[in-house]
A and B are shown apart, each in its own frame.
Chain A
Amino acid sequence: MHRLKIFTFLTVSFLLVSNGIAQQKILLSKAKIHVGNGKVINQGLVGIDGEEIVLVENALTFTYDKTAWDTIIDLKGQELYPGFIAPNSTLGLTEVDAVRATRDFNEVGVFNPHVRSQIAFNAESEINTTVKTNGVLYTQTTPQGGIISGTSSLMKLEAWNWEDATLKKDDGIHLNWPSTTKGGGWWAEPAPKKINDKYTEDVIKIRNFFEAALAYSESDDLYDARFEAMRAVFTGTKRVYFHANELRALTDIIDFKREFSIQYPVIIGGYEAYKIADQLIDAEIPIIIKGGHTLPTNEDDPVDLPYRLPALLQEAGILFCIQNSGRMETMNTRNIPFLAGTAMAYGLSEEQAISAVSLNTAKIMGVDQIAGSIEVGKKATLFASKGSALDMRTNELTLGMIHGKFIQLTNLQTKLYEKYKEKYKSK
């Protein structure tokens, strides 16, 4: 399929991967570098030593000693991107949506901060292999359900097991803020939603839980599994990811954040966030917006509103990134580059769109020191594409790397493709 023009070096590097030997020094040369922070180097050099990026320079002005590099890969005419990050994802937690035995993302219980997705992450998931090959190289593996669904972790998509895979363990808890409307039949036959009379009651439940957890965090000689999992929310850098969309919920979350002095609040969803962007900026709450491949929530909304939301947030100056939760989200994770592309078509600049799936995401999750952009000192997680990675026609990976290790550009699907191409050839 992908006609790989990465010369002989590539064979070498694949051998290294398959032997499990760590890379030595690699230089990626002459690609157009989308740094991830908004900058572009039209012809750049990226040097990698082991897991890390050690050099990022302009190829036209920087002179280097060829002998200092074990491998030099010429990427002229190609585009180089930081590995994209999939936030709020069930990738690795499910294999076949309809088969219950493969669904590992929704635990029993209402307040489950102690339930951790990290250890359920399937590093060998067949779905992961199809996601990597489109440029998505990290995922925030995220539980669902209840009020507090559990604790997510940030994972690499290339690893032997979940321990290897972990980029950041237990990065945050996921809190489903109650909705002001409730019910509405079942999925096949939605009925009118009712005003959620229990909204206030539900919010009080959350407050009570946080009050008790906060009090607990001030003591060292008690043990409670749930409150223990909450400790780092108050004393560390554990994020609270509030899942909410409606205006009323968003304003209430701002108040809640202030009341409990939550250091690292994040809103996931945020459909109406653009309406109160100023307040969210004041409260320093970033947004993980749902990507545009979704229908407007309300009949009367502008038809292109979901496409435009990223641009509306960008214009307002709010820190945001893009996620793809929703129907068939697991397998659709591979389409995150095109969610960024759609956001670009509807108002973001190309580099802003790239940031929205790389550096912004890393910032929001607190891993921008090591991930999210092609900068010296960060982990070498990046990929090269023949053309724009944000366009379906030209997203074609020629190489990908996670922490300095090359990823395989084949997967279950390319294997089947080759197999049946062979079938017809022989006929």
Chain B
Amino acid sequence: MKTTFSLSILFTLLTTFLFGQLPTPNNGVEESKASAYVLRNAKIIVGPEQIIKKGSVVVANGKIKAVGKMVRFPKGAVVIDMKGKTIVPSFIESYSNIGVPTPKSKKWTPRPQIESSKSGAYYWNEAIHPEVKASEHFKVNKKDAKHLQEMGFLVAATHIEDGIARGEGAIVALGDLKNKESILKAKGPAYLSFQKGTAKQTYPSSQMGSIALLRQAIYDARYYQNNKTELPENISLNALNEQLEHTLIFKVEDKLEALRADKIGSEFDLDFIIYGSGNEFEAIESFKTWKKPLIIPINFPKPYDVSDPYVAQQIPLSDLKEWELAPSNPYLLHQHKIDFAISSNGHKKAKDFWKHFHQVLENGLSRADLLAALTTKPASILAIEEQAGTLEEGKIASFSVFDKDPFEFKNAVLEESWSLGKKHIITPQAEIDIRGKYRISLPETSYVIDIKGSATKPKGKVTTYKSLIDSTQTPPERTIDTVEVSAKINVDFRDAVIHFEVDDDQYDGVLTLHGNFSPKIDAFLGQGQMPDGRWVKWSGIQLSRFKKQEDEEKHRVEVDTNARGKVWFPNMAYGFDSLPESQTYVLRNATLWTNEKEGIIKEGTVILKNGKIDFVGTGNFSIPLDAIEIDCEGKHITSGIIDEHSHIAISKGVNESGQAVTAEVSIADVVRNDDINIYRQLAGGVTTSQLLHGSANPIGGQSAIIKLKWGYTPDEMLIPDAPKFIKFALGENVKQSNWGAYQTVRFPQTRMGVEQVFYDAFIRAEAYKKKWKAYKALSPKQALRKNIKAPAVDLELEAVWEVKNSERFISCHSYVQSEINMLMKVADSMGFTVNTFTHILEGYKLADKMAQHGAGGSTFADWWAYKFEVKDAIPYNANLMQEQGVLVAINSDDAEMGRRLNQEAAKSVKYGGMSEEDAWKMITLNPAKLLHLDERLGSLKEGKDADIVIWSDHPLSIKAQVLQTFIDGELLYDSRKSVDHYLRIQKEKARIISKMLSKNKAGEEKRTFHKKEEKHWHCDTIGDSID
């Protein structure tokens, strides 16, 4: 307790700005410095709301003493004339790692590290290290600081960029400052991310794992807070609890991750500030309701090198559209009233930052909004708005001086940065501006030189003349050839050196002219060396002035939003301009596969209305108003295909393989709506998929059941109130049999061990729930009296308990009969039923036992021979199981097969002679039943969801093609439009590529195209995309 108390005093001390001088011993007499500065005659951008066209700033003791048109100059102040200059308040960087060490990875070893290797009383997982404090590691790094200064940032929040709970940031000033002066606020925001960073522990290995780990850590922290006396000291949880009370900045890599992070925040009533990825415009509707600001980067993607058409044709439209629209992200967010701060993070070169800064303006964001996003918004996020963000009196004297207004001119040069009242020269300025046109007089001849470029780096062009004598003519004809040569010019204080090479009537070689420039008369006078080595006197008289104004106009920022493309839903090939609406459709004259007692109806009609099936049959019906009628003569209509086992549309890892039991993770947390396979499967008639966790561990993660609503957000795709499911797995994958020679550490490595994992989990869950039940049985008063506190929340055991309590259904990856039998016995002894065995390739060997237990089977039509445990798999499996009364489905587990499940179902007709109607039910009604969704899905029945497919032919026939797919009465796939779609994609690609090509030609920095490989998860995919 004592430690905490004294720590908190320290915090209070550190959180106040350190301006006064603490007594420190000095070597010699105290350092001399001016008491105050007055910067006069400048354009002062005080803040987003206020610009002083011509005024002064008074700086004293590191702060702004006064600012205004007319201010009193303090005695003894150094007065600096800033005529023509613009003063801009320091930008504030809310996300950086300035001055702190770069995290280093430990050496890779092939053996898995299951437990934490850290010594000390820290959290069990190495990716959670909130105890790390940037302020304890900060060291002035002049090089990195200068980089930020060049971009106008003199105040930055810094942190060690590593791990999921990364620790506490510090707010520092950048400039000619010492370590101690630099830290403005030792206790800055804390930082979070989904990235595991340098931690080598096996868990988490997926994004859903990171999500679960962070949630569990927060639950742990809160529990720890309430039970400190009972629990051993934990440094990490102490720190985390402290941080949960303050600002938390969450770094994400994608718009969807932003929404995922926000969801965690809502669970704990925490307002994470999201540091986004720059593609928020692609999900703008989801951000509209946010009340807190975002932080966004503006390191917009560079154009691709599209000079090679072979390469250009391979660039996906999604990349092209993102490139085109990214610079409009700030404007589009603003347009939708979404608050944001801008970060410079990601820029390796300051010049790129300024380019992007101007692109933001050109794409429509106002200068006031841009300035606010760089100053007052981050100041408020970092809770330093009292001290920084504007040039108002009393705030820190941190600002940049530009030669002209950078919000108006793209060629504005950042000359000086003043940090806490100390000047730091960023771009050394020429004392003289020699630009203009001059006549250079030399003893033998004279030249005209035109000097342009910038004042610090002028460039010259010299006109020389050479006589040409044509002796073939009589008399010989003389012509004069004019040659323009470029001159190299160096300016040093008031001296200039001009070199140029001539070959004319007078000289042949290099002339070097050294001269002193007099700004009063705009003339040079000096000594020059001729090609033959002679030294001569020379002079340069100005003929005309440099047309500064004219030059400036070329660099003026012009807003142009006309050429901007549209955001599609999703923003890629086959995306919609706007989302389709649910309409009333009358589909007539079709063969209807009802899956109901009516069986197959010829020449029937289906009416879709308000997202539901309104009518099915041949009888009388009235055609609703505004109905769209489609004549389906010769066509077949079915309910949409349901894939019980799919791994499409998942971000960053289908397996959380870090532990044997990971019931806490959920695929629903990582649904990805821009997977092209969603669209491809719609084109195969699939309307609903269960996105399952992989099979890397005996108890895997929770499922997501989605409708393939192409164009919608992940949350909109999830079926509301869908029954809860979880993946279990058996056999080679959970034993890590095919993971290589080093993966022999994790329990279980045999089928024997798998049984024990299950028993252990269920028994632990039982004990866990008992504690909670006992607690919940007490009234709050009783609990208080008896001093009984709420038990710890264990996300893993919560889910395991739901299984045991039949609130969550199992879909269990399984092949071999022995282990299938084992799991059913475990379930029997625990009093629940295994809902579905998926794959279940040896189901035919114990179909009778499955039927008796009540388990369904979701299998492959004909897969086998890919691993040892499937050597007895037979394509007659579905038939044999069905004959024994098992509810059977056919699933894909594969993005490719998922788009032709009708063919897979048809194989059961071949292998074992199943009836066609029964075969069809295996990919529609039966999976709907297995998923407990048959009340609303799986057949053509009035009142069920209007998830409908129109087929060109008998749907089990090899000739069947999907013509149209509807979900909730919305036409989401239409094969007739696919040609138009394709042409539209080609047109859009050509449009953007030509834009890119013009950037290539203009010499803009470009990047090489890297072809993205699509991610195809299968259940044995052990992948992670965490660092």
Chain A interface residues toward B at CB < 8 A: 1, 95-99, 126-127, 130, 180-181, 184-185, 187-195, 246-248, 293-296, 298-300, 302-304, 328, 330-331, 334-335, 338, 341-342, 344-346, 388, 390-396, 413-414, 416-417, 420-421, 424, 427
* Closest B residue, CB atoms, query A392: B906
Residue picked from B911, B916, B978, B989, most chain A C-beta under 10 Å:
B911
Interface status of B864 (Cβ within 8 A of chain A): yes
28 contacts between A and B (CB under 8 A): A1-B911, A96-B867, A98-B867, A98-B868, A180-B310, A181-B1010, A189-B1015, A189-B1024, A189-B1025, A191-B1013, A193-B1010, A195-B311, A295-B896, A303-B679, A304-B683, A330-B865, A331-B865, A331-B866, A338-B958, A341-B958, A342-B900, A345-B958, A345-B960, A393-B910, A393-B916, A416-B872, A416-B874, A424-B884
Contacts of A342 in B (CB 8 A): 900, 903, 958
Interface status of B493 (Cβ within 8 A of chain A): no
Binds A, one of B19-27, B251-259, B875-883: B875-883
Q: Judge whether B1012 and A334 touch: CB under 8 Å.
A: no
In the complex, what distance in Å separates the CA atom of A420 from the CA atom of B864? 18
Q: Judge whether A295 and B680 touch: CB under 8 Å.
A: yes
Looking at chain B, what size class is its interface with the partner chain?
A: 35 or more
Q: Given A188-B1021, A293-B900, are A194 and B310 also a contact pair (CB < 8 Å)? A: no
* Closest B residue, CB atoms, query A293: B896
Contacts of A187 in B (CB 8 A): 1021
Contacts of A328 in B (CB 8 A): 863, 865-866
Interface status of B249 (Cβ within 8 A of chain A): no
Interface status of B266 (Cβ within 8 A of chain A): no
Contacts of A334 in B (CB 8 A): 862
Partner of B874, one of A96, A185, A338, A417: A417
Contacts of A1 in B (CB 8 A): 876, 911-913
Contacts of A295 in B (CB 8 A): 677, 680, 895-896, 1014, 1016
Contacts of B738 in A (CB 8 A): 98
In the complex, what distance in Å separates the CA atom of A193 from the CA atom of B1009? 9
**Least Cβ–Cβ distance between A326 and chain B, in angstroms:** 9
**Least Cβ–Cβ distance between A302 and chain B, in angstroms:** 5
* Closest A residue, CB atoms, query B319: A299
Contact digits for B951-972, partner A, Cβ 8 Å, 1 yes 0 no: 0000011111100000000000
Q: Given A299-B317, A392-B910, are A193 and B1012 also a contact pair (CB < 8 Å)? A: yes
Contacts of B865 in A (CB 8 A): 95-97, 126-127, 328, 330-331
In the complex, what distance in Å separates the CA atom of A391 from the CA atom of B1025? 41
Q: Judge whether B1013 and A190 touch: CB under 8 Å.
A: yes
In the complex, what distance in Å separates the CA atom of A304 from the CA atom of B985? 15
In the complex, what distance in Å separates the CA atom of A269 from the CA atom of B844? 38
Q: Which of B822-877 contact A (CB under 8 A)?
A: 844-845, 847-848, 862-868, 871-872, 874-876
Contacts of A246 in B (CB 8 A): 310
**Least Cβ–Cβ distance between B851 and chain A, in angstroms:** 10
**Least Cβ–Cβ distance between A36 and chain B, in angstroms:** 19
Interface status of B490 (Cβ within 8 A of chain A): no
Contacts of B683 in A (CB 8 A): 303-304
Partner of A417, one of B318, B876, B906: B876
Q: What 8 A-B pairs have minimum CB-CB distances, sorted nearest first? A: A190-B1013, A188-B1023, A192-B1010, A341-B958, A98-B867, A193-B1011, A331-B865, A189-B1023
Contact digits for B988-1027, partner A, Cβ 8 Å, 1 yes 0 no: 0100000000000000000011111111100001111100
Contacts of A416 in B (CB 8 A): 844, 872, 874, 876
* Closest A residue, CB atoms, query B864: A331
Q: Beyond A341-B959, A393-B956, A416-B876: 14 further Cβ-contacts under 8 Å? A: A97-B867, A98-B738, A184-B1011, A188-B1022, A294-B896, A299-B676, A303-B978, A304-B961, A344-B958, A345-B958, A395-B910, A414-B876, A417-B876, A417-B880
**Least Cβ–Cβ distance between B496 and chain A, in angstroms:** 45
Partner of B680, one of A190, A296, A338: A296
Contacts of B982 in A (CB 8 A): 302
* Closest B residue, CB atoms, query A335: B862
Contacts of A420 in B (CB 8 A): 844-845, 880
Q: Given A300-B573, A392-B906, are A193 and B1013 also a contact pair (CB < 8 Å)? A: yes
Q: Judge whether B959 and A345 touch: CB under 8 Å.
A: yes
Contacts of B368 in A (CB 8 A): none
Q: Judge whether B1010 and A194 touch: CB under 8 Å.
A: yes
Residue picked from B572, B1009, B1011, B1016, most chain A C-beta under 10 Å:
B1011
Q: Which of B908-965 contact A (CB under 8 A)?
A: 909-913, 916, 956-961
Contacts of B911 in A (CB 8 A): 1
Q: Judge whether B900 and A247 touch: CB under 8 Å.
A: no
In the complex, what distance in Å separates the CA atom of A96 from the CA atom of B865? 5
Interface status of B316 (Cβ within 8 A of chain A): yes
Partner of B959, one of A130, A303, A331, A344: A344
Q: Interface SS of chain B: helix, strand, loop or mixed? A: loop
Q: Judge whether B1014 and A190 touch: CB under 8 Å.
A: yes
Partner of B1008, one of A194, A302, A331: A194
In the complex, what distance in Å separates the CA atom of A194 from the CA atom of B1012? 9
In the complex, what distance in Å separates the CA atom of A296 from the CA atom of B680? 9
Q: Given A393-B956, A424-B884, are A98 and B732 also a contact pair (CB < 8 Å)? A: yes
* Closest A residue, CB atoms, query B674: A299
Q: Judge whether B316 and A98 touch: CB under 8 Å.
A: no
Contacts of A346 in B (CB 8 A): 961
In the complex, what distance in Å separates the CA atom of A191 from the CA atom of B959? 36
**Least Cβ–Cβ distance between B493 and chain A, in angstroms:** 48
* Closest A residue, CB atoms, query B870: A96
Q: Judge whether B1013 and A299 touch: CB under 8 Å.
A: no
Interface status of B314 (Cβ within 8 A of chain A): yes
Interface status of B907 (Cβ within 8 A of chain A): yes
In the complex, what distance in Å separates the CA atom of A331 from the CA atom of B913? 21
Contact digits for B736-754, partner A, Cβ 8 Å, 1 yes 0 no: 0110000000000000000
Q: Judge whether B1011 and A181 touch: CB under 8 Å.
A: yes
Contacts of A302 in B (CB 8 A): 978, 982
Contacts of B1024 in A (CB 8 A): 189
In the complex, what distance in Å separates the CA atom of A345 from the CA atom of B874? 27
In the complex, what distance in Å separates the CA atom of A180 from the CA atom of B845? 49
* Closest B residue, CB atoms, query A340: B958
* Closest A residue, CB atoms, query B906: A392
Partner of A192, one of B311, B896, B897, B1011: B1011
In the complex, what distance in Å separates the CA atom of A181 from the CA atom of B310? 11
In the complex, what distance in Å separates the CA atom of A13 from the CA atom of B311? 59
Q: Judge whether B572 and A391 touch: CB under 8 Å.
A: no
Contact digits for B446-461, partner A, Cβ 8 Å, 1 yes 0 no: 0000000000000000
Q: Which of B657-706 contact A (CB under 8 A)?
A: 676-677, 679-680, 683
Residue picked from A189, A247, A342, most chain B C-beta under 10 Å:
A189
Contacts of A99 in B (CB 8 A): 867-868
In the complex, what distance in Å separates the CA atom of A200 from the CA atom of B683? 39
In the complex, what distance in Å separates the CA atom of A296 from the CA atom of B978? 14
Q: Given A192-B1010, A294-B896, are A427 and B848 also a contact pair (CB < 8 Å)? A: yes
In the complex, what distance in Å separates the CA atom of A345 from the CA atom of B899? 15
**Least Cβ–Cβ distance between A243 and chain B, in angstroms:** 18
Contacts of A300 in B (CB 8 A): 316-317, 573, 985, 989
Contacts of A392 in B (CB 8 A): 903, 906-907, 909-910, 956, 958
In the complex, what distance in Å separates the CA atom of A302 from the CA atom of B982? 7
In the complex, what distance in Å separates the CA atom of A391 from the CA atom of B958? 5
* Closest B residue, CB atoms, query A127: B865
Contacts of B916 in A (CB 8 A): 393
Q: Judge whether B961 and A298 touch: CB under 8 Å.
A: no
Q: Judge whether B883 and A424 touch: CB under 8 Å.
A: yes
Q: Judge whether A195 and B1009 touch: CB under 8 Å.
A: yes
* Closest A residue, CB atoms, query B914: A393
Contacts of A189 in B (CB 8 A): 1015, 1023-1025
Contacts of B956 in A (CB 8 A): 392-393
**Least Cβ–Cβ distance between B717 and chain A, in angstroms:** 19
In the complex, what distance in Å separates the CA atom of A394 from the CA atom of B954? 13
Contacts of A181 in B (CB 8 A): 314, 1010-1011
